[in-house]
Amino acid sequence: MQLIIWEVEALLFAFAAVFIIQLLDGTIHTRGLLLDKDGTVSAVRVQMLLATIAAAYEYVSQLMKNPAQFPQMPTDWLTLFGGSQAIYLGRKLYSTWFRKKA
């Protein structure tokens, strides 16, 4: 049993390493991740990225307190994350439809 755990851990670390290395050396494209269509930095995308990182960090920190069971994600965090996504989608909808028609 211990062998399969080590094996899967090693594979997961290898996958994570490949992902991080390719992200850093540019193999995985991140061009335009935070940019708007006109090439400027988009505040909506930045806030969504920060909300994503914050929610993921909160989830992992809750998990580390008791790794034997999944953490109960607080409703406040879900609201924050959902609100951030709603802002992003609202902005995207506006820039795709309404601003084009105007």
Partner 1 sequence: MQAHPYMTSLQYLEIIVGYLVCGIVAVFGIVLVWRVASDGSLADLLDDPDSGKASTSRFQLVIFTFVVALSFFLVVVSNVKLRQSGGVVTDTGMPDVPGGVLALLGISASSYLVSRGITKSGNGNGSTFEAKTEVKENTNEPPPAGRI
| Residues at the interface with partner 1 (CB under 8 A) | 1, 3-5, 7-9, 11-12, 14-15, 18-19, 22, 27-35, 37, 45, 48-49, 52-53, 55-56, 59-60, 63, 67-75, 78, 81-82, 85, 88-89, 92-93, 96-97, 100
- Determine the 3-state secondary structure of 42 from DSSP: coil
Give me the least distance between CB of 43 and partner 1, in Å please.
12
Strand extents, DSSP E, the chain: none
Give me the least distance between CB of 47 and partner 1, in Å please.
10
Task: Confirm if 84 and 47 have CB atoms less than 8 A apart.
Answer: yes
Q: How far is CA 16 from each of CA 12, 22, 69, rounded to the nearest angstrom?
A: 6, 10, 22
